[in-house]
Chains A and B, each alone.
Chain A
Amino acid sequence: MNPWQNTNSAADQMHEMLEHDILVIGGGAAGLRAAIAAVQTNPRLNVAIVSKVYPMRSHTVSAEGGAAAVIKSNDSLEEHINDTITGSDWLADQDVVEAFVREAPDELLQLEHWGCPWSREPDGSIAVRPFGGMTIERTWFAADKVGFHLLHTLFQTSLKFESLTRYDEWFATKLLVENGRCQGVSAIELRTGEVRLLLAKAVILCTGGAGRIYPFTTNGAIKTGDGMAMAYRAGVPLKDMEFVQYHPTGLPGTGILITEAARGEGGILVNKDGYRYLQDYGMGPPDPWPRLRAMELGPRDKISQAFVHEMRKGRTIAGPYGDVVHLDVRHLGETKIDTKIPFVRELAHRYAGIDPVHEPIPVRPVVHYMMGGVHTDINGATPIAGLYAAGESACVSINGANRLGSNSLTECLVFGARAGRHAAAFAAHHRSLDRAALAAQARDEAKRVAGLDGTDGGTERIAMLRTEMTRAMEEGTGIYRDEGSLSKACDVLRTLRDRFARIRLDDRTRSFNTELIAALELECMLDVAEAVAHSALARTESRGSHQRTDHPKRDDARFLKHTLAYSTDGAPRIDYLDVVITRWPPAERVYGR
């Protein structure tokens, strides 16, 4: 007998209904910030965090370099806005960027007041470091484990709120939308393997990105686009999915991130001849150096693209895991390296077998971040009433076609808090729930999950499908794309979806069935990957991280627009939405001068 069937009786499901005012899906920076904002907005609300891992395992933990906000007297909100819009190649919504930059300093100060161990100036004030694409030093840091400290500070602070409930290691599989409102989720409790119904007046998706749709990524195993896929299936469009950020400096083989702070602190990128090649790609001149918004402190999209050109010219260095260039920090000296970027030294030593104090670090571009995500407005609200999204899973949008380093941690805080506050207001005014209909939906979802194990003759192994998916994405939707590569990726993804219907799992048990979770994650990734490939195919221009060799120019007349990908029974339906332009009309994107 199929063990899943135990929970399928209506009586059981009704008995097991768990109800809260707000459910936050995901326990990373955005999720924790949203949850705290919600309980602080209205302490009477009962808020729960549902996370497939214990919150301190969330991928926020891996962020290294810093979080941007204007705090120094030599800086201005105007400059941060301008940098972010330029960095986005004018695809960011300018009203949203303004709100982001305005609210950023208080959010980082709030983290400081909650105990975040920010690095300091000798006088005890907050220290800042330079970062790519930023005109002025404004990146707050805690050595080079910023995401780690930010996440643990948020998690530990969250523990003091009595009205906050956590469902750790619960994997949400479906948004329950009834009567036009999102009223909860269906989720698998990993410990028991039971499919449970969680009801709420509002749901906030903070599930992170989907770097795992690619084979070579900085992202941890959990970054599988679950929330994006859930929203997409519920009818919410995924916005600007073709914009995938390659970070210029990942360790070959593992894809482990070497932070941009290494360059912020003065590291240089050189090719096989020891030549600082970025000067050949509109980022120079190399001197005087260091200069902000130039050379190694240019934006990530352009630096990653320069690598590809160097490789084609035969000026990169062959290695066992593909070509590399060298990130050289030796001239910083051991003391500065150990003070400012100790984690870089540790990671390079452990995973690349070199000591950056004495040798350059081999690096290559690596998939790092999804600029796109669940379509939301400036408050994190999606088109479905009661459903919100924030952080990397959302596209609000401040990042446009290319995110600037150190804007994303701040984004998690600013828009996590906004989503939390707005969800709290919504939940207070929408008290009714369609319980019977929701229970019926949850029963259907339990049956769907139960049917995934392949007992009816499945043969496909999920690891194989996953490998083929990531290969298709790398080959078809990498740093440079064209119609041929993208069409092929779309075709492969479609056949993988058909094959997914015939998977077979080794594990037919219930408790902590991580193979089942991996299958559900793969299904999410296939949805997200299709949205990426089709959105990229439809955008016949080049902008920011989306570079079409067959359409190499930016085309504002046709594409100063957000892509919206809608789920259908077949290929995604692609639509467009105007970008909000307020005071910064599109212009040429200039660095290095």
Chain B
Amino acid sequence: MAEPTIALEIFRYHPEQGEAPSFRRYEIPYREDWVVLDGINYIKDQIDGTLAYRWSCRMGVCGSCGMMINGTPRLSCAAFLREYFPNPVRVEPLAHFPVERDLVIVMDDFMHKLREVKPWLIRGQETPLSEGEYRQTPAEVDEYKQYSMCINCMLCYAACPVYGLEPRFLGPAAIALAQRYNLDSRDEGRRERQEVLNTEEGIWDCTLVGECTTACPVHVDPAGSIQRAKVTATVDWYKDVLLPWGKR
């Protein structure tokens, strides 16, 4: 009996060679326990060494291997061929990003935005290590834990229609990361981060489509984080307007 096969139609683009982007079809063995990344690795090793893509951990935690798979942003290490078999699988680079080559996108903008939100613990007074840990109850950890799970895979940017239209939008992962620190009981930097969040390109660009939360492979719920940030910013605004100095 012939081994079953499946077709991967892969986006190919190599600016260095000056050719227009195109799709190339590869017929590969179908294995029930293979993920799309296994198929792509098979192509790279056995058929076509020129295919370029990023990957490493193959267990859904390093965030390298995000791709558009049949039009949906997925981690290719977590998307199984059996979800698509016997139909062909179309693999493209993450939407809304410039393409470096083939499935490799340019992520400079994302890296820049991560830093913009000051994703580090900000405190007025550093306590020396000799005084031990900052106390934080399990309930206080739970306040921000979900937003600390982001693996920077950028699937949410590929899913976000606003980012597609307005590249200056800070975007779901960066805002969720800002919230991760804002909601951490050890942090005192919320006001500083608010300068970045509470702008046209910050939280107010979001139109609450919620696609980011659907796309997130680790259940960070960026949409929820943006909503919370909007509420906080609104409360801040009312406090600023209505309360006298010193009571804010």
A123 in the interface (beta carbon within 8 A):
yes
Query: Please, what's the 1-or-0 string for A110-143, where 1 marks a CB less than 8 Å from any CB in chain B?
Result: 1011110111111111100000000000000000
Query: Please, what's the 1-or-0 string for A486-514, where 1 marks a CB less than 8 Å from any CB in chain B?
Result: 00000000000000000001110111111
B:48-89 near A, CB below 8 Å: 48-50, 52-64, 78
- A69 CA to B191 CA in the complex, in Å? 35
The smallest beta-carbon distance between B170 and chain A, in angstroms, is 15
Query: Interface segment, A52-60, A170-178, A473-481, A539-547?
Result: A52-60
In contact, B141 and A256 (Cβ under 8 angstroms): no
B17 in the interface (beta carbon within 8 A):
yes
- A78 CA to B119 CA in the complex, in Å? 37
- A106 CA to B46 CA in the complex, in Å? 49
In contact, B62 and A220 (Cβ under 8 angstroms): yes
Chain B, Cβ-Cβ closest to A115: B121
In contact, A159 and B136 (Cβ under 8 angstroms): no
Chain A, Cβ-Cβ closest to B49: A506
Query: Please, what's the 1-or-0 string for B182-196, where 1 marks a CB less than 8 Å from any CB in chain A?
Result: 001011000000000
Listed residue (B15, B45, B118) with the most chain A CB atoms within 10 angstroms of its CB: B45
Given contacts A512-B101, A514-B52, contact A350 B137 (CB under 8 A): no
- Chain B residues near A59: list those with CB within 8 A: 56-57, 62
In contact, A109 and B132 (Cβ under 8 angstroms): yes
A:136-178 near B, CB below 8 Å: 145, 148-149, 152, 156-157, 159-160, 168
The smallest beta-carbon distance between B80 and chain A, in angstroms, is 9
How many residues in B have their beta carbons less than 8 Å from beta carbons of A? 61
Chain B, Cβ-Cβ closest to A191: B100
In contact, B59 and A256 (Cβ under 8 angstroms): yes
Query: Interface segment, B107-115, B156-164, B197-205?
Result: B107-115
Q: How many A-B residue pairs have CB under 8 A?
A: 153
In contact, A463 and B152 (Cβ under 8 angstroms): no
In contact, A115 and B49 (Cβ under 8 angstroms): no
Query: Please, what's the 1-or-0 string for A321-350, where 1 marks a CB less than 8 Å from any CB in chain B?
Result: 000000000000000000000010011001
- A122 CA to B142 CA in the complex, in Å? 12
In contact, B136 and A113 (Cβ under 8 angstroms): no
Partner among A57, A119, A125, A168 whose Cβ is within 8 Å of the Cβ of B56: A57
The smallest beta-carbon distance between A409 and chain B, in angstroms, is 15
Given contacts A120-B136, A120-B137, A509-B17, contact A221 B129 (CB under 8 A): no
- Chain B residues near A152: list those with CB within 8 A: 148, 150, 152
In contact, B129 and A507 (Cβ under 8 angstroms): no
- A190 CA to B57 CA in the complex, in Å? 20
- Chain A residues near B56: list those with CB within 8 A: 53, 57, 59, 220-222
A515 in the interface (beta carbon within 8 A):
yes
In contact, A350 and B78 (Cβ under 8 angstroms): yes
A:25-76 near B, CB below 8 Å: 53-54, 56-59, 61-62
- Chain B residues near A256: list those with CB within 8 A: 58-59
- A339 CA to B133 CA in the complex, in Å? 22
A286 in the interface (beta carbon within 8 A):
no
Partner among A120, A159, A506 whose Cβ is within 8 Å of the Cβ of B141: A120
- Chain B residues near A119: list those with CB within 8 A: 138, 141
- Chain B residues near A58: list those with CB within 8 A: 62
- Chain A residues near B187: list those with CB within 8 A: 115
Given contacts A62-B61, A509-B16, contact A110 B135 (CB under 8 A): no
In contact, B137 and A123 (Cβ under 8 angstroms): yes
- Chain B residues near A220: list those with CB within 8 A: 56-58, 62
- Chain A residues near B14: list those with CB within 8 A: 509, 511
B:99-152 near A, CB below 8 Å: 100-102, 104, 107, 111, 114-115, 118-121, 126-127, 129, 132-138, 140-141, 144-145, 148-152
The smallest beta-carbon distance between B234 and chain A, in angstroms, is 26
Chain B, Cβ-Cβ closest to A350: B78
- Chain B residues near A57: list those with CB within 8 A: 54, 56-57, 62-64
The smallest beta-carbon distance between A357 and chain B, in angstroms, is 18
- A109 CA to B63 CA in the complex, in Å? 27
In contact, A515 and B57 (Cβ under 8 angstroms): no
- Chain A residues near B64: list those with CB within 8 A: 53, 57
A266 in the interface (beta carbon within 8 A):
no
A254 in the interface (beta carbon within 8 A):
yes
B3 in the interface (beta carbon within 8 A):
no
In contact, B16 and A61 (Cβ under 8 angstroms): no
- A507 CA to B150 CA in the complex, in Å? 34
- Chain B residues near A191: list those with CB within 8 A: 100
The smallest beta-carbon distance between B119 and chain A, in angstroms, is 4
- Chain B residues near A123: list those with CB within 8 A: 135, 137
- Chain A residues near B44: list those with CB within 8 A: 463, 514-515
B169 in the interface (beta carbon within 8 A):
no
Partner among B104, B121, B152 whose Cβ is within 8 Å of the Cβ of A56: B152
Chain B, Cβ-Cβ closest to A463: B45
- A53 CA to B150 CA in the complex, in Å? 18
Partner among B15, B133, B148 whose Cβ is within 8 Å of the Cβ of A109: B133
In contact, B134 and A113 (Cβ under 8 angstroms): yes
- Chain A residues near B45: list those with CB within 8 A: 463
The smallest beta-carbon distance between A159 and chain B, in angstroms, is 5
- Chain A residues near B129: list those with CB within 8 A: 106, 109-110, 113
Listed residue (B54, B62, B120, B127) with the most chain A CB atoms within 10 angstroms of its CB: B62
- A512 CA to B101 CA in the complex, in Å? 7
In contact, B62 and A62 (Cβ under 8 angstroms): yes
- A110 CA to B132 CA in the complex, in Å? 9
- A204 CA to B129 CA in the complex, in Å? 26
B97 in the interface (beta carbon within 8 A):
no
Given contacts A148-B151, A511-B15, contact A126 B62 (CB under 8 A): no
CB-defined A-B contacts under 8 Å, sample of 13:
A59-B56, A61-B61, A115-B120, A115-B184, A120-B136, A120-B138, A124-B135, A145-B149, A157-B121, A159-B119, A350-B78, A512-B104, A515-B49
Residues of A within 8 A of B (CB): 53-54, 56-59, 61-62, 106, 109-110, 112-115, 117-126, 145, 148-149, 152, 156-157, 159-160, 168, 191, 220-222, 253-254, 256-257, 343, 346-347, 350-351, 461-463, 505-507, 509-515
Beyond contacts A54-B111, A256-B58, A515-B50: 9 other A-B pairs, Cβ-Cβ < 8 A, are A53-B64, A59-B62, A62-B57, A112-B133, A115-B121, A152-B152, A159-B120, A160-B120, A347-B59
